[in-house]
Amino acid sequence: MSEPPAPIADDREFELAGMPMRFGKYTLIRKLATGGMAELFLAIQKSVAGFEKLIVIKRILPPLNQDQAFVDMLLHEARVAATLSHPNIVQIFDVGQVDGQFFIAMEHVHGEDLRSIVRQMKKRSIVEFPLEHALAIVLGMCAGLAYAHERRDLDGTPLNIVHRDISPQNVVVTFSGDVKIVDFGIAKSDTRLGEQTKSGKLKGKVPYMSPEQARGEAVDARSDIFSTGVMLFELTTGKRLFKGASEYETLKLICEREYPRPSEVRGDYPAELETIVMRALSKERADRFQTAREMQAALETFIRNDQIAVSNVALHQFMQTLFEERLAAQKEALLQGKALADIIEMQHALTASADTNDVDASGQRLLASATQSMPAAARTVTELEIPARRRRNLLAIGGAALAFAVLAGGGALLATQRTATSGAETTETARARASLAIESDPPGASIWINGDLRPEVTPATVTQLPIGVALDVKLTKDGFETGKRDVSLQAGETGRVKLELRRGALVLDVKVSPAEASAAFSLDGTPVVGPRIEGVTSGTPHKLVVTAPGFADQTVTVTGGALETKVIDIVLEKIAPTAPTRASHTSSHHVAPQAPPSPTAATGGSGKLNVGASNGWCNVSVDGAPRGATPVAGIELPAGPHKVSCTTPDGKSLAATVTIPGDGSTARYKFAL
């Protein structure tokens, strides 16, 4: 999940979060975003003497917790990122595991990324990014990158850290006027653990890639400098630099075309600033600034020479004015969410104290310590936005929880006036829990309660559930629609939920090009009528094979959700006349994917291969050899057919046979994810 948190769009997204809730030593307040690998939460960390700190928790999605190679990569990269401590880099505080779920705890940045800032400017009819603010932002980026690029380990060995994803989404301007680079947790360093990390599971945004990154070559700090140059060009001209009709066209713009000069976009563009921009955008690494600090020095010289009023104070005022209404709403919303989080923290502390074996001289359990570290009112403003309807619900729950906390904690506050018997009753009240028996038809469904995946599968009885609060129970099973039920339990009871899961159906809409190809389709080894294939079981992978006379067979693995229509783009490649051809068959005996001919069987000559992906990205292998993350360009191969595979971040695999021409030209293939 490489993007910074985005504001919640409506009530539904907030309702699904099931917040606040405990997560190890943290209290999750609300879900901020969900990506392909992780979900982000706004959280509070509390400790003794009223200590509290707003942070962001990045929690790895359940399937990836089972991927040991990914976990190793995550922990290694997080350890590297945690060594970075700089005002222009978001700090990582903690890396750990709670109930089998790995997480990263990082600094909470109260601000907006550049993409959100530009959108807000458009809403306010501000058509030009102020030059002084653009320069302040890029100066902050250069300072943070210089620090990271120059980092060494304790032995003095350079870490050679490269961010690889410098883009508007990963640069945040705080409401106090500071600039922060986010997601150094996905940065690359030379101290990788294994081949899996070398092949890379993450990539940058295509329009901000350097030419060498776009070609799939090794990158160094100068790749980040190129990306910074792209952003400097766009902030100061108001125009996108690389924007093709497709990822492949954008790739060509970066790797093959001449770049426009800023003065061609704006006639009054400062000549000295244009020199800086074009040097950062040099196609050859040796012609760029060799360090981010060198680029920072050039910008500072230009600012002095032109007497531009670059100031963090001015940037602070700009942000405050631009987001004035949002800031007011956020402040009020935080106080509401924070109050409920405090109540939940108090409940947790009281329950934990009830479970402890600590007793005083008279044999009473010690509860006083549970109240000593309870925090006061909210002290921090954040970008928490709770819709009005949800806020009312939270306050209602909070009132009930507060009453419970007062009753449960009363024995501690008035211990000198209570008997041992009343103290025992207080302890039992704090520990009151209920159970829930959950069944599904068919059985074997995963159980989610208030957004958390449980270790049990149906049928199962879940114990130690809270009483008197709404529980959102969700059941999921591959190939079936999600079942949902809201329940509320009373002390001592065993509630029951039984849900019938409807089998889901997926529709595949296959778009084949070239249009003149007479395509036949097979799904999981069985011929089907296409190009629109209906009644496909959802939630499970299916192998789709497309064949046509005179073209190489194309095989993709496809997975979709219940009631989803999934569009699949298939580009057929003509078989070279000198290459072995295969007849098109529609019987299940012949449509199964076949092993590609060995590259050594090529008919002579060589060519190049470009591989892209739509609707996402994947790791590419050609004839079993890893080639990096899409887009990959300029792969030199012998003429003839080659097996190209594509593995997505969640482990799905697609494959195709692509024929390389022998005349030195380039074959292109795009996977539809």
CA 601, 603, 607, 613 torsion-angle sign = negative
Q: From CA 570, how far away is CA 611, in angstroms rounded?
A: 13
Non-local CB neighbours of 658 within 8 Å, separated by 6+ positions: 552, 573, 609, 641, 642, 644, 667, 669
In angstroms, the CA 473 to CA 71 distance is 29
Q: State the catalytic residue, choosing from 67, 113, 165, 342.
A: 165
Which residues face 436 on adjacent strands?
462, 495
DSSP-assigned beta bridge partners for residue 33: 40
225, 163 Cβ separation under 8 angstroms: no
Can you read off the two tokens belonging to residue 406?
């007062």
Query: Helix H segments across 356-468?
Result: 368-372, 388-413, 420-430
Q: Which residues pair with 567 in a beta bridge?
A: 509
C-alpha distance from residue 374 to each of 21, 222, 403 (Å):
16, 49, 16
Question: How far apart are the C-alpha atoms of 472 and 448, rounded to whole Å?
Answer: 8
Pairing of strands 446-449, 452-457: antiparallel
Separation CA 426–CA 350 (nearest Å) = 10
User: In this structure, which amino acid lies at residue 105?
Assistant: A
Amino acid letter, residue 553:
D
Which residues neighbour 403 within 8 Å (Cβ) at sequence distance 6 or greater? Answer: none
C-alpha to C-alpha distance for 106 and 40, rounded to whole angstroms: 10
Distance of CA 89 to the CA centre of its chain: 18
**How many whole angstroms separate alpha carbon 43 and alpha carbon 52?**
10
- Tell me if residue 72 is catalytic: no
Catalytically active residues, by annotation? 165
